[in-house]
């Protein structure tokens, strides 16, 4: 049977067909849907959201050493977090098979960096596969399991946004049931003590040699002979773009098994074409090695290193063809930046913080990162997950050390707190910085599309589970001043911030209200009740002061004609924030 | 079979462009075309600008449409149509929803919604306006605006030989099925 699938759906299908039984991941664009789709194979695969990527990979390591087939998936920066176990895992290798998916983001659509994770394969000395479409994404999971088992090595599959989020046709197969490998205790293989690692270090090089041979003969490294005046070496989505541009005018070497680099095959291909182009997104990963092998080629001398490629870029830079485009003036349209949803409780927190002038607001990654943008503009930094609390600690030390009168407020989401905020807060307490940490507990991982986490009380496959209590965690870390409040009650929020800032000790405010888009769980309904309310503006009372507009809620419009505000009835989520800031009580609950 | 055709669907996060492109690509695949579709989401869920690239034909390579390559641009919103205009081929068709969604800088009064965009586009391409919101409201089903637009697209793309009803039945939840089928029909009839 044929099905249209995204690359992510195809990876999930591949995991199913390969007989994988365990999957662990932490959400992150563009990789999130891999685990979401694996979770649907409830009877065959155990799928888990881990608190962070390091934990996810380590769970997979344990599963595979114990003899099972497992897969971990993460976005590109997620592999930074999981890099520590990755390198050790390359040394110990696996027993059952282990597949690691990294989903890179050329173009930085929804990330903080544009890093080329192919270098991780090279640095950790691990085999790497790169699919060019959804069919290959599926096939490669199955092949990765086989390579993993044959060479007892974890295998990396490197995707990019366009592979993850593009749909193409996939031929479905059936699931193979693979028995587990027998587990035998072997400290000379599975404990990375110096004496063991010294031995494993040699094993790693030996394995790499064998894998090089495997890569040179892999069906994923495929030559397609056409006209030999142009030769194209391309990987992943770049192959599709090149094929679109050159058609049969060129011969192709499509690289799918990209580390160890199949240099023998490349040399052979290069020797038979007149001009060689290496077409790859972001860094010249292949090109560097090809040049180092003494093969002449074009690549980044013509193509950009920054951002995604496209057929148009290849056509313009390599072929020198420029198409006529329809005339337009881009500055005629205004930008459409993403905004916090109507009714988002984060808005209230940033609204309150934005009114105070003496603050350094150490932000973090999540929907609430949007609090940095106008009209709220309530954020000074945003680095990486968990950094709000730890960078806030450093900033507080600096302000104190240089006698500057600035208070530090660190703002972190619930999922981010579990991911990597807990150790940072421990540092605040242990090393005594007077910071206030606001934990935006919206009961879900909002940014990546609403995944459960340890605080929601449900697992990735919908089972009830122990609900982690942020309050108790924070207490145990040693914070004595902890207040849990409803951020949509502005007075309560205001007082909590005042009191926290006055306290010379570290303090925590837990702003607990569910994300406006969250599908409420049974537990949520019990705690927060159902709330389907709308607010309306009483036209005759509105004085057009625009105070409510300054909250930045996109359901509010200012009508320049009659100088009044109105509320879009379809968009309003009834949070009441605008009603609370209106100085004349013109915004009221819609009784209809 | 035909040469590869490219349709670009654009709009604002939350407008239902995804469902429309899902129905479209499913129908194209079942008709025997090779199909590829590419979309960018993530931050765009939060009211940002969104796009779905759809390409079909005998053999499709790139899942993305380059500037100047789209045969049809379907825009769920006026200003978005202009933002993506240069993706359209000279001589291509722009199907535009007669609907405005002001973006954040406009809502907060920093700037005004741009005027005259449709007139300007009409000078260079074939612009087809659809009153999808009015049609959807007329069916007392505002949320079916996306399917009205899909109906219009199918007609303009000359894909009405495919049994769309059958496909919509399989994709759309039972509860909304009747409303969506009527919306689709109304959309088809809204253009010629
Ligand atoms: C290391 C790493 N992993 C994953 C991500 C993707 N990501 C960005 S924010 C976020 C979680 C946000 O959830 P939460 O902290 O609950 O805030 P919310 O979006 O709900 O406001 C994730 C998973 C990332 N940027 N970095
Ligand atoms: S998805 Fe939830 S957390 Fe994110 S902006 Fe919307 S309401 Fe806020
Ligand atoms: S009550 Fe006011 S602030 Fe809240 S969602 Fe509705 S319009 Fe926006």
Please give the full DSSP string across B41-107, using - where no structure is assigned.
-SGGGGT-EEEEEEEEESS---SSPPTT-EEEEEESSHHHHHHTGGGEEEEEEEEEES-----HHHH
Measured between CB atoms, does A181 come within 8 Å of chain B? no
Residue from A351, A352, A578 whose mutation best tests the ligand 3 pocket (most atoms within 8 A of CB): A578
Residue from A344, A440, A519, A551 whose mutation best tests the ligand 2 pocket (most atoms within 8 A of CB): A344
Q: Do A113 and A243 fall within a single domain?
A: no
- At residue B105, the pLDDT reads 86
Ligand 3 atom having least distance to the Cα of A553: 8
State the smallest CA–CA distance between residue A246 and chain B in angstroms: 11
Domain count, chain A: 4
- At residue B107, the pLDDT reads 84
Closest ligand relative to A441 C-alpha:
1
Tell me the per-residue pLDDT of A457-508, one tens digit each, with 9 for 90 and over. Answer: 999 999 999 999 999 999 999 999 999 999 999 999 999 999 999 999 999 9
State the smallest CA–CA distance between residue A404 and chain B in angstroms: 34
Pairing status of strand A22-25 against strand A70-75? parallel
pTM: 0.97
Q: Do A295 and A194 fall within a single domain?
A: no
Q: What is the domain-level CATH number for residue B179?
A: 3.40.920.10
Residue A516 has pLDDT above 90, yes or no: yes
- Whether ligand 3 lies within 6 angstroms of the CB of A555 is answered as yes
Chain B residues in contact with A549 by the CB 8 A cut-off are: 107-109
Residue B44 has pLDDT above 50, yes or no: no
- Whether ligand 2 lies within 6 angstroms of the CB of A367 is answered as yes
Domain count, chain B: 1
> Do residue B63 and residue A341 have CB atoms under 8 angstroms apart?
no
Residue from A490, A555, A580 whose mutation best tests the ligand 3 pocket (most atoms within 8 A of CB): A555
Tell me the per-residue pLDDT of B125-182, one tens digit each, with 9 for 90 and over. Answer: 999 999 999 999 999 988 899 999 999 999 999 999 999 999 999 999 999 999 999 9
Q: What ipTM is given for this predicted complex?
A: 0.95
Q: What is the domain-level CATH number for residue A286?
A: 3.40.50.920
Average pLDDT estimate for A339-350: 96
Q: What is the domain-level CATH number for residue A567?
A: 3.30.70.20
- Contact between A135 and A5 under an 8 Å Cβ cutoff? The reply is no
Residue A216 has pLDDT above 80, yes or no: yes
What residues make up the domain containing A84? 2-216
User: In A, residues 374-413, which contact B (CB 8 Å cutoff)?
Assistant: 374-375
Cα separation values, A298 from A250, A275, A309, Å: 14, 8, 15
Closest ligand relative to A417 C-alpha:
1
Domain assignment present for residue A104? The answer is yes
In DSSP terms, A3 is beta-bridged to: A170
Residue the block writes with tokens 């919509």:
B168
> Do residue B61 and residue A338 have CB atoms under 8 angstroms apart?
no
* Residue at a domain's end among A319, A335, A361: A319
Write out residues with Cβ below 6 Å of ligand 1.
Answer: A 26-28, 53, 75, 77-78, 81, 365-368, 385, 413-416, 440, 442, 444-448, 515
Chain B residues in contact with A240 by the CB 8 A cut-off are: 61-63
- Whether ligand 3 lies within 6 angstroms of the CB of A556 is answered as yes
CA distance A152 to B129: 60
Domain assignment present for residue A324? The answer is no
Four-point Cα dihedral A20, A21, A22, A25, nearest 10: 50
**Pick from B36, B64, B82: CB nearest A332:** B82
Give the number of other Cβ atoms within 10 Å of residue A289's Cβ. Answer: 17
Q: Which residues contact A292 (CB under 8 A, 6 or more apart)?
A: none
> Do residue B107 and residue A327 have CB atoms under 8 angstroms apart?
no
State the smallest CA–CA distance between residue B32 and chain A in angstroms: 11
Q: Do A26 and A144 fall within a single domain?
A: yes
Please name the residue of chain A whose CA is at the shortest distance from the CA of residue B21: A167
Residue the block writes with tokens 């927060």:
A528
The H-assigned helical ranges of A272-386 are 285-292, 311-314, 345-354
- Contact between A377 and A356 under an 8 Å Cβ cutoff? The reply is no
Chain B residues in contact with A169 by the CB 8 A cut-off are: 29, 34-35
Closest ligand relative to A344 C-alpha:
2
Tell me the per-residue pLDDT of A6-61, one tens digit each, with 9 for 90 and over. Answer: 999 999 999 999 999 999 999 999 999 999 999 999 999 999 999 999 999 999 99
CA distance A68 to A179: 8
Task: State the pLDDT confidence band at B58, using cuts at 50, 70 and 90.
Answer: very high
Pairing status of strand A556-559 against strand A535-537? unpaired
Q: Do A519 and A575 fall within a single domain?
A: no
> Do residue A327 and residue B124 have CB atoms under 8 angstroms apart?
yes
Q: Do A71 and A162 fall within a single domain?
A: yes
Nearest CA to ligand 2 atom 1: A446
Nearest CA to ligand 3 atom 6: A572
Measured between CB atoms, does A322 come within 8 Å of chain B? no
Chain A residues in contact with B64 by the CB 8 A cut-off are: 162, 166, 241, 310-311
Q: What is the domain-level CATH number for residue A165?
A: 3.40.50.970
* Phi, psi of A566, deg, nearest 5: -135, 160
Q: Do A507 and A563 fall within a single domain?
A: no
CA distance A374 to A559: 20
> Do residue A336 and residue B49 have CB atoms under 8 angstroms apart?
yes
**Pick from A243, A244, A554: CB nearest B107:** A554
Residue from A350, A451, A515 whose mutation best tests the ligand 2 pocket (most atoms within 8 A of CB): A515
Closest residue by Cα to residue A451 from A487, A423, A416: A416
> Do residue B82 and residue A370 have CB atoms under 8 angstroms apart?
no
% of chain A exceeding 70 in pLDDT: 100
- Contact between B94 and B115 under an 8 Å Cβ cutoff? The reply is no
Measured between CB atoms, does A570 come within 8 Å of chain B? yes
**Pick from B37, B69, B106: CB nearest A167:** B37
| Mean of pLDDT over chain A | 97
Q: Do A173 and A55 fall within a single domain?
A: yes
Task: State the pLDDT confidence band at B84, using cuts at 50, 70 and 90.
Answer: very high
Cα separation values, A549 from A243, A366, A469, A556, Å: 50, 23, 35, 6
Q: Do A501 and A363 fall within a single domain?
A: yes
**Pick from A30, A367, A557: CB nearest B46:** A367
% of chain A exceeding 90 in pLDDT: 94
State the smallest CA–CA distance between residue A256 and chain B in angstroms: 16
In B87-165 the beta strands, taken as DSSP E runs, fall at 88-97, 126-130
Tell me the per-residue pLDDT of B60-77, one tens digit each, with 9 for 90 and over. Answer: 999 999 999 999 999 999
- At residue A533, the pLDDT reads 83
Average pLDDT estimate for A512-530: 93
Tell me the per-residue pLDDT of A406-423, one tens digit each, with 9 for 90 and over. Answer: 999 999 999 999 999 999
Please name the residue of chain B whose CA is at the shortest distance from the CA of residue A238: B62
Task: State the pLDDT confidence band at B42, using cuts at 50, 70 and 90.
Answer: low
Transcribe A75-116 into DSSP letters. EHHHHHHTHHHHHHHHHH--SS-EEEEEEE-TT-SSSS----
Q: Do A209 and A226 fall within a single domain?
A: no
Q: Do A265 and A354 fall within a single domain?
A: no
Domain assignment present for residue A329? The answer is no
| Distance, CA of B64 to chain centre | 16
Chain A interface mutation, best of B4, B24, B104, B111, highest count of A Cβ atoms under 10 Å = B104
Which two tokens mark B57? 């034909």
Q: Do A440 and A579 fall within a single domain?
A: no
- At residue B2, the pLDDT reads 60
Residue from A447, A450, A519, A524 whose mutation best tests the ligand 1 pocket (most atoms within 8 A of CB): A447
Please name the residue of chain A whose CA is at the shortest distance from the CA of residue B88: A326
Q: Which contacts (CB < 8 Å, 24+ apart) does range A475-482 have?
A: A477/A422, A477/A425, A477/A426, A477/A429, A478/A426, A478/A429, A478/A430, A479/A425, A479/A428, A479/A429, A479/A437, A479/A506, A479/A507, A479/A508, A480/A505, A481/A505, A481/A506, A481/A507, A481/A508, A482/A507, A482/A508, A482/A509, A482/A510
Chain B residues in contact with A132 by the CB 8 A cut-off are: none
User: In A, residues 470-489, which contact B (CB 8 Å cutoff)?
Assistant: none
CA distance B52 to B63: 10
- At residue A411, the pLDDT reads 98
Cα separation values, A387 from A173, A377, A382, A395, A436, Å: 44, 19, 7, 11, 14
Q: Do A372 and A460 fall within a single domain?
A: yes
* Residue at a domain's end among A513, A528, A543: A528
What residues make up the domain containing B101? 5-189
Measured between CB atoms, does A562 come within 8 Å of chain B? no
- Whether ligand 2 lies within 6 angstroms of the CB of A94 is answered as no
Ligand 1 atom having least distance to the Cα of A446: 20
Chain B interface mutation, best of A28, A131, A167, A339, highest count of B Cβ atoms under 10 Å = A167
Question: A364: CA distance to ligand 2 center in Å?
Answer: 15
| Length of chain A counted residue by residue | 592
Q: Which residues contact A230 (CB under 8 A, 6 or more apart)?
A: A246, A249, A250, A251, A273, A274, A275, A277
Domain assignment present for residue A327? The answer is no
* Residue at a domain's end among A216, A239, A270: A216
> Do residue A549 and residue B109 have CB atoms under 8 angstroms apart?
yes
């Amino acid at each position: 049977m044929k099905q249209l699938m995204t690359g992510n759906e195809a990876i999930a299908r591949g995991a199913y067909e390969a007989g994988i039984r365990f999957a662990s991941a932490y959400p992150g664009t563009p990789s999130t849907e891999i685990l979401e789709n694996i979770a649907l194979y409830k009877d065959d695969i155990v799928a888990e959201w881990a608190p962070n990527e390091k934990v996810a990979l380590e769970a997979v390591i344990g599963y595979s050493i114990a003899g099972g087939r497992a897969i971990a998936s993460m976005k590109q920066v997620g592999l930074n977090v999981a890099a520590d176990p990755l390198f050790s895992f390359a040394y110990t290798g696996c027993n059952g098979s282990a597949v690691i998916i990294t989903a890179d983001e050329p173009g930085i659509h929804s990330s903080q960096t544009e890093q080329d994770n192919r270098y991780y394969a090279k640095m950790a000395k691990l085999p790497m596969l790169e699919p060019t479409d959804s069919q290959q994404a599926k096939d490669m999971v199955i092949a990765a399991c086989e390579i993993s088992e044959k060479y007892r090595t974890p295998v990396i599959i490197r995707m990019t946004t366009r592979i993850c989020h593009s749909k193409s046709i996939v031929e479905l197969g059936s699931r193979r049931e693979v028995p587990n490998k027998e587990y035998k205790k072997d400290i000379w293989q599975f404990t990375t003590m110096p004496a063991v690692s010294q031995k494993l270090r040699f094993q790693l090089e030996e394995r790499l040699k064998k894998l090089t041979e495997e890569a040179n003969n892999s069906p994923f490294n495929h030559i397609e002979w056409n006209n030999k005046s142009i030769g194209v070496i391309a990987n992943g989505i770049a192959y599709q773009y090149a094929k679109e541009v050159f058609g049969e005018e060129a011969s192709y070497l499509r690289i799918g098994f990209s580390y160890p680099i199949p240099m023998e095959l490349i040399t052979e291909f290069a020797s038979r074409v007149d001009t060689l182009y290496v077409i790859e997104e972001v860094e010249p990963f292949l090109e560097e090695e090809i040049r180092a092998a003494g093969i002449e080629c074009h690549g980044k001398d013509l193509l950009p290193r920054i951002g995604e490629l496209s057929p148009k870029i290849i056509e313009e830079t390599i072929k020198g063809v420029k198409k006529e485009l329809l005339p337009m003036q881009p500055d005629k349209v205004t930008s459409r930046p993403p905004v916090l949803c109507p009714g988002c409780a984060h808005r209230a927190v940033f609204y309150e913080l934005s009114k105070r002038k003496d603050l350094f607001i150490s932000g973090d990654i999540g929907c609430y990162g949007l609090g940095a943008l106008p009209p709220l503009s309530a954020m000074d930094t945003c680095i990486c997950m968990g950094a709000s609390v730890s960078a806030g600690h450093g900033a507080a030390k600096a302000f104190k050390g240089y006698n500057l009168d600035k208070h530090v407020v660190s703002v972190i989401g619930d999922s981010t707190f579990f991911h990597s905020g807990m150790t940072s807060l421990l540092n605040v307490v242990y090393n005594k910085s007077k910071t206030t940490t606001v934990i935006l507990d919206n009961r879900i991982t909002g940014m990546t599309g609403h995944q459960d986490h340890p605080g929601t009380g449900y697992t990735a496959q919908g089972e009830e589970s122990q609900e982690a209590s942020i309050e108790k965690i924070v207490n145990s870390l040693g914070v004595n001043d902890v207040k849990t409040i409803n951020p949509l009650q502005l007075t309560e929020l205001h007082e909590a911030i005042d009191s926290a800032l006055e306290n010379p000790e570290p303090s925590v405010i837990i702003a607990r209200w569910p994300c406006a888009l969250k599908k409420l769980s049974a537990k949520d309904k019990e705690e927060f009740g159902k709330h389907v309310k709308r607010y309306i503006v009483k036209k005759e009372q509105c004085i057009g002061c625009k105070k409510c507009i300054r909250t930045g809620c996109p359901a509010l419009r200012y009508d320049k004609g009659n100088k009044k505000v109105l509320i879009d009835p379809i968009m309003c989520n009834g949070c009441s924030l605008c009603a609370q800031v209106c100085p004349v009580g013109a915004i009221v609950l819609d009784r209809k | 079979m035909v040469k590869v055709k490219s349709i670009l669907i654009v709009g604002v996060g939350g407008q239902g462009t995804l469902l429309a492109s899902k129905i479209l690509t499913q129908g194209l695949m079942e008709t025997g075309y090779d199909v590829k579709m590419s979309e960018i989401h993530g931050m765009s869920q939060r009211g940002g600008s969104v796009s779905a690239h759809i390409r079909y034909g005998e053999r499709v390579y790139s899942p993305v449409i380059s500037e100047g390559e789209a045969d049809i641009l379907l825009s769920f919103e006026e200003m978005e149509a202009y933002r993506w205009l240069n993706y359209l081929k000279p001589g291509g068709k722009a199907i535009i929803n007669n609907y405005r969604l002001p973006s954040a800088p406009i809502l907060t009064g920093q700037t005004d919604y741009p005027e005259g965009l449709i007139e300007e586009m009409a000078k260079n391409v074939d612009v087809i306006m659809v009153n999808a919101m009015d049609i959807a409201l007329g069916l007392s089903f505002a949320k079916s605006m996306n399917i009205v637009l899909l109906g219009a697209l199918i007609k303009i793309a000359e894909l009405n030989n495919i049994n769309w009803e059958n496909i919509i039945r399989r994709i759309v939840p039972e509860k909304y099925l009747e409303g969506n089928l009527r919306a689709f029909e109304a959309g088809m009839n809204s253009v010629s």
